[in-house]
Every structure is written in structure tokens, then in C-alpha cells.
A and B are shown apart, each in its own frame.
Chain A
Amino acid sequence: MNTLYLEGTEDTPTIILDKANGILEISGRSLPEDSTEFYKPVLDWIEAYAKDPNPSTTFVFKLEYFNTASSKLILDLLYALEDIKGIKIQWHFHEDDEDMEEAGEEFSELVEIPFEFVPY
């Protein structure tokens, strides 16, 4: 599979989807003008990956901020990941960012995927 790499900007996150090296990560800020358009290639990549995944998959979220339109797409990403065997989420949050921690907890309540919470 091709690697998808999108460099982060002031309003879009960094995306690293690298099957060969087992790195699946979204980090930074997510407030794109059109989140459906922005996240489409990410969703497409995950759907293709799900057909032939690595034996175990850790998807890393290291978000500083995401707007509500992005939160819907993040849930869509999680739904796409849900059926992958050996999937787990690593949800990073700044140690004093209760809102980000809580957001991760809420996502974990909406999908059947083990979440690991990692403060930094």
C-alpha cells in the first residue's frame, strides 16, 4: 500500500499512514474548512488497509485541537477501524487538557476498540 503523508498546517493535522512501518498517526490541529473533503483520503486509505491489515495495528491520535466538524469524521475513522483484527487506539493528550482526555473517553464509549490513554 502507498504511504499517505500530509504535512500539518495551522488548520489541518499531520497525517501519517504508513503500513510498511506500522505507523498510523494523526497529530496537530484539525479545523479544516471542509472536513469531509480533508478526511476522505484518510478514510479511503483505512478502508483499503482494513482489507489486508498488519497482524496488529495501533492508531495514534495526538491532537492538540479539533473542531466539531472534525469530531464527526474522527468517529467515522474509528468506525472504519473497528472491524480490524488486533486494532487498538492510543489517545494522547496534554496532562492538563481534561477536555481532550474526556473527548477520547467519549470516543472510546462509542466504538468497540481498546483505547490506551497517554498523557504528555
Chain B
Amino acid sequence: MKVIQNIHNEMKSEHLMLAYQGDFSQETVKCILALGERTMALHSEDSVVKRKVFNVMVESLQNIVRHNDASTETQRQFPAIFLIGREPKSYSIMSGNPVSKERVPELQTALEGINKLDKDGLKDLYKNIIKGTTLSEKGGAGLGFVDMARKSGEKLSYDFPEISESYCFFCLKVNIPLVS
């Protein structure tokens, strides 16, 4: 029984408005987006913020679905998680999902590179990627992180704690400031 209040208190102290852990599919993505939109409407967020938060939510959620390379067993043991936090000055969109250790260096390199760029640098990177790329087998364009960084205006925070012999838990946090 204690777990109910524990999670309730944890969510309160971390200023979390929404927390979902489990299976992710296009259907769950649509549900979570609808929940997020509803919550922002209840908070009477201005439309600029709502749009940016929605944008980042979609990219974050669809990344979880699209880049889920973990074995079924690993997904069962380490289900992905998605969180929306709201603090006085910003929203945070957070996600965690298992990724194979082989993928970590490429993810780290991409994120480090993005965090070094300013607004114009991100715009140039976006244009270079979109011009030069064909969609990968998984339907990704390599644009998601860049787009999240552009909508946020701040550096992306990330971490890759090890969870098993072959997997790390890719944690990503994107802030959307409330006052631009």
C-alpha cells in the first residue's frame, strides 16, 4: 500500500505531471500526446509553449518506438519510461529506454555535437541532414535530436547507465523554458 503514496510523493517532489512506463507503440504515443495536450490546456499554457512541448514529446516518444532495439526479454525487464515535468520556469520532457551498448558511442557523439552548436549552427546542421539523407530502414532521419535542441533552446541532458551485460538505459531530458 505504501507504494501508492510513495510514488505520489515522488511525483510531487519531482514536479511530474505525467509518468508512463510500459509498452510503447504508435497507439500509446497518440494516447500520451492527448494526455499531454489536455494537461497543458488545464494549465492554460500559452500556445507557443504548448506547441514546443508537443513537438518535443512527439520526437521523444517516436524515438522510443522507432529505436527500440532491445530484445523482448530486456524490454520486459527494463520497460521504457516517459515523463513530463513542470516547474515554475520550464517543462521537462524526459525519456528512458534500453539501448544496446554498441549504439551508445554513436548516440553520445551525436548529442555532444548538437550541444556544442548555437542556434545558427543547429539550423545549418538541420538543413545539411535533411538535404543529404534518405530515411533509414527504421524511418528515422537523424533529425529528431536536432529538432528537440532547436525547440528547447537549451542543451540536451543525457546519460547511459549500464543495466545489463549488453544494455544501457538511455536517459534523455529536454527543457522547454516557459518564458522566452
Which residue numbers of A lie inside 8 Å of B, CB to CB? 10-11, 31, 33-36, 65, 67-69, 71-73, 75, 94, 96-99, 106, 109-110
Contacts and interface: CB of A to CB of B under 8 A. Distances in A.
Given A68-B141, A68-B144, A99-B52, A75 B131 contact: yes
B55 interface: yes
Query: Shortest 3 CB-CB distances between A and B: which pairs?
Result: A68-B143, A33-B26, A72-B141
In terms of DSSP, what is the predominant structure of the interface of chain A?
Answer: helix
Contacts of B135: 35-36, 69, 72-73
A67 B127 contact: no
Given A75-B130, A97-B51, A110-B130, A69 B30 contact: no
Given A68-B59, A97-B51, A10 B30 contact: yes
Interface in B94-116: none
B15 to A, nearest CB: 25
Secondary structure of the B contact surface, majority rule = helix
B123 A106 contact: yes
Given A11-B30, A69-B62, 20 more contacts: A31-B58, A31-B62, A33-B26, A33-B65, A35-B139, A65-B55, A67-B58, A68-B144, A68-B146, A69-B143, A71-B141, A72-B133, A73-B135, A75-B130, A97-B48, A98-B48, A99-B55, A106-B126, A106-B127, A110-B127
Interface residues of B, number: 30
Contacts, number: 65
Contacts of A96: 47-48
Contacts of A98: 48
A26 to B, nearest CB: 17
B147 interface: yes
Interface string B131-155: 1010100011101101100010000
Nearest to A64: B51
A21 B143 CA distance: 36
A72 B62 contact: no
Given A67-B58, A67-B62, A68-B143, A109 B51 contact: no
